[in-house]
Amino acid sequence: MERIELEKVAKVYGRSYALNRVDTVFKAGTLVALLGPNGAGKSTLISMVGTLLLPDRGTVTYDGLSHEQMVRKGRGRFGYVSHDALLYLDLSGMENLVFYAALYDIPNPQARIAELLKRVDMTYAAEKLVRSYSRGMRQRLSIARALLQRPE
């Protein structure tokens, strides 16, 4: 994916705007930092760009595809890691990745999981329950989960 474009995007919760008339372009290969106080709309913007939320107004396009087309065709093109690691605490790290690999229909999941565990330096803890992981370990496993689908 080369370009994500937001034009006059708005998201309203009740009577409050989380986003109002946002115009921006994200280009491949660039690093973006979203800074602002609590309630500024950072998480809303990330959720919208990641196809988890629809804008109430305006348009979001992905290399020319509409938001709706992207939801149908390309959600696997995104990898998302949030402050909440989105892991099952009573499963091991390996079991979490096997679960998500099945959910994402990853071909040859064992090889991909082994590759990612090595990449995030978590091979040594793969069989331990996530409940026993430190915050940093959970975040590293969450990064592996986000990379399972080979996002762009």
Tell me if 82 is assigned to some domain. no
Confidence class of residue 149 from pLDDT cuts 50, 70 and 90?
A: confident
In a shared domain, residues 69 and 122: no
In a shared domain, residues 11 and 71: yes
In a shared domain, residues 7 and 71: yes
125: domain range? 93-147
In a shared domain, residues 31 and 71: yes
For 125-143, the pLDDT digits (tens) are 999 999 999 999 999 999 9
- Domains in the chain: how many in total? 2
In a shared domain, residues 99 and 141: yes
In a shared domain, residues 17 and 73: yes
Question: In this predicted structure, what is the pLDDT of residue 76?
Answer: 63
DSSP 3-state of 55: coil
Rounded to the nearest 10 degrees, the angle between the axes of helix 109-119 and helix 135-147 is: 140
Confidence class of residue 71 from pLDDT cuts 50, 70 and 90?
A: confident
- Asked whether residue 77 carries a pLDDT value surpassing 80, the answer given is no
In a shared domain, residues 70 and 112: no
User: Among 11-15, 27-31, 107-111, 146-150, whose mean pLDDT is lowest?
Assistant: 27-31
For 90-123, the pLDDT digits (tens) are 999 999 999 999 988 888 899 999 999 999 999 9
Tell me if 101 is assigned to some domain. yes
In a shared domain, residues 72 and 19: yes
Question: In this predicted structure, what is the pLDDT of residue 75?
Answer: 61
Tell me if 44 is assigned to some domain. yes
Q: What is the CATH number of the domain that holds 33?
A: 3.40.50.300
DSSP 3-state of 58: strand
- Asked whether residue 1 carries a pLDDT value surpassing 80, the answer given is no
For 41-64, the pLDDT digits (tens) are 998 998 898 888 899 999 999 888
Q: What's phi and psi for 18, nearest 5 deg?
A: -80, -35
In a shared domain, residues 33 and 64: yes
| 0.85 surpassed by pTM | no
Chain position carrying tokens 């009740």: 14
In a shared domain, residues 12 and 70: yes
In a shared domain, residues 114 and 53: no
